[in-house]
Structure 1
């Protein structure tokens, strides 16, 4: 493998027909030695996106390979920013796959690196996936009080009360869909004490990012939307929205 990659370095990043790179395949087949050799050859292989934009870092999070997770974060910290095709972060994936230890490692690492990149803590722990769900929403959906407890230590009140595309906060989800009554009561209590509110509360704004996306999908466009889609206006409107968002 290494001889071929030395002769043709681009092969290390090439995807097969199934959408996997050599690093992805080495991980899937538990070839740790091959993974480490590839890593020494090119640390950037940690960020190669395969099928559904899953990277090798996403893979080790989903399978809770803690040793490789720590190694990947050590050699290429920026890999923590990579998202799947569904806008899921490594934090989403760890909670969705019930990998609490991996989640703890990620949060602990994020806190230690906060002084280098403060925006990571603010953005990654409250980032919405394609359905508008933050990691806190996912923890509520899956009834994971330990995850909720960790998140609440690092989130502002506005992040705790973020709404998904259905206009629901984490408190709404936990109140409406309690899979386990005892755990649900515990999570509701934690959220309430942290300032958690219902999405319909008058204390929260009526509009949200999600409502904008829903409105944009309606067949009938407003006059301003029709103007924005005229030739020459699309790029300008996109630029203004990006600047406003960031």
Structure 2
């Protein structure tokens, strides 16, 4: 890099930069051949205006990584330069995921340095950056706990809870350690109790943590405290872990054996769980770190297709079949129901039953189509697939409208269009309401206890 350009970047002198550009319009282009660029220098020194000018002239500098594995975003994040981070993210929000040495991203450096404000800006612009891992399998939470960065941990955990991404709290590094393992270990190293206590209190209040997760060494977070005692504060941490129903690794194995009624195996089997419905549900339920999301999606796709097929078939061919002739009763034969050929027999003989049938069948059909839409999002030929789903939905509604008497036409039309199509939104509302009621019930139970 030209010495004069280095001095201008270090001082944040925009006038000097403009003078250099007047003398040599290609001075910034020549800089691209060097190991450093002026944007790195300005980011390190915190010169926001100079950074804006460089980004205006050469935005490509924002994505360059030097020989040490640092980009301007790495440097700004490490130094806590919030305004510079914002300016760089205007160029490309994905810059906070730019990998340097050992796959370290700017978000990782912000976590290591405890830059809570920078973390907040990055999560707002690029939420996926919190899932990035280093070569050692560590995400931002692991790094913040390792370095005892309480404010950074608080910021990330709060964001995770707000976005309902609790699975991130239980991610493991290459050694199988969750953040609770690391928090326990750093407590032993006398880094402080703040992070440990905060993590544990969150786990007690929300149940978000898998407090009995076992790492590759075969120990839980409680084992770390008990196997490596350090000071009087350990007792308080053990009590918090105990209130969260934490166990030692050997006790979790014993508990599994007892629940499955098996004396020779350490893992439960379906055959040993038939007598206990709760254990059976526990055995088969989806677990984030055991089951593959792609396999779960495949299973849900199969179920959604089966439901869509069944509900569509019974919808276009209602129970009881169709009238083969037309009958318009006169004064002499007023006891017979009026009907026309092609109309549903059930719709004319049992109107209430038919209305209930149409309602529940339409809800099941529309929800299955919604599941197919969600599960195939971002797939190739997405637009064509959406046309297919919409066509099937319209076909279903059209057929039902054609096989009912005129007095049921309005009900069927509203059910197959407005009501059933709004069930996905209603389902989300009910799910949120159930989650809130469950939390209220859990909190009231804790107070009573």
CA deviation map 1:40-69 (0-9, x unaligned): 111111111111212111111221222221
Unmatched 5+ stretches in structure 2: 1-38, 40-51, 188-195, 258-265, 268-290, 298-449
Q: Which residue does 1:49 correspond to in 2?
A: 99
Q: What is the Cα deviation at residue 139 of structure 1? A: 1.3
Q: Label 1:89 to 1:29 Cα distance change in 2 as closer, same or farther (>3 A).
A: closer
Q: TM-score with structure 1 length normalisation?
A: 0.73
Contact 1:61–1:90, Cα closer than 8 Å, also in 2? yes
Is contact 1:136-1:151 (8 Å) kept?
no
The 2-side partners of 1:244 and 1:193 are apart by 35
Q: C-alpha separation between the residues in 2 aligned to 1:110 and 1:152?
A: 16
Aligned residue number for residue 150 of structure 1: 202
Asked if residue 203 in structure 1 is aligned to residue 248 in structure 2, the reply is no
Cα deviation per residue 1:183-234 (whole Å; 9 max; x = unaligned)? 2111111212221111112114747xxxxxxxxxxxxxxxxxxxxxxxxxxx
Cα distance in 1 for partners of 2:158, 2:82 equals 24
Residue 137 of structure 1 and its aligned partner are, at CA, apart by 0.7
Closer, same or farther: CA 42–141 of 1 in aligned 2, 3 Å? same
Question: Which structure 2 residues correspond to residues 1-246 of structure 1 after superposition, within 5 A?
Answer: 1=39, 9-28=59-78, 31-114=81-164, 120-122=165-167, 124-143=168-187, 144-155=196-207, 159-180=210-231, 182-201=232-251, 202-204=254-256, 206=266
State the distance in 2 between where 1:110 and 1:30 align.
Answer: 21
Deviation at 1:31, TM superposition (A): 4.8
Q: Residues 244, 178 of structure 1: CA spacing in aligned structure 2 closer, same or farther, 3 A cutoff? A: farther
Query: Do the aligned partners of residues 101 and 14 (structure 1) sit closer, same or farther apart at CA in structure 2, a change above 3 Å counting?
Result: same
Distance change >3 Å, CA 160–CA 33, structure 1 → 2: closer
* Secondary structure class of the residue paired with 1:101: helix
Q: Following the alignment from structure 1 to structure 2, what is the Cα–Cα distance between the partners of residues 59 and 97?
A: 11
2:442 maps to: none
- Give the Å deviation of 1:243: 5.5
Structure 2 CA distance for aligned equivalents of residues 54 and 16 of structure 1:
13
Structure possessing the higher relative contact order (Cα contacts under 8 Å, 6 or more residues apart): 1
For residues 149 and 33 of structure 1, the distance between their equivalents in structure 2, rounded to whole angstroms, comes to 33
Give, in whole Å, the separation in 2 of the partners of 1:244 and 1:200: 31
Point out the structure with max Rg over C-alpha: 2
Q: What is the total number of aligned residue pairs between the two structures?
A: 206
- Aligned mates of 1:32, 1:162 — CA distance in 2: 36
Alpha-carbon separation, structure 2, partners of 1:30 and 1:187: 32
* 1:99-122 Cα deviation digits (max 9, x unpaired): 1111111111111111xxxxx212
In 1, distance between residues paired with 2:169 and 2:247? 18
Q: State whether residues 170 and 179 of structure 2, in contact with CA within 8 Å, keep that contact through their aligned partners in structure 1.
A: yes
Distance 1:241 1:5 in 2: 42
TM-score of the pair, normalised by structure 2: 0.42
Residues 111 and 152 of structure 2 are in contact (CA less than 8 Å); yes or no, is this contact kept in structure 1? yes
Give the direction of change, closer, same or farther, for the CA distance of 1:244–1:36 in structure 2 (3 Å limit). closer
User: Could you list the runs of 5+ residues in structure 1 that have no partner in the other structure?
Assistant: 115-119, 208-239
Q: Give the structure with the higher percent helix.
A: 2
Asked if the contact 1:152–1:160 (Cα under 8 Å) also holds between the matched residues in 2, the reply is no
- RMSD across aligned positions (CA): 2.7
Structure 1 outlier segments of 4+, above 6 Å? none
Q: CA deviation at 1:34?
A: 3.4
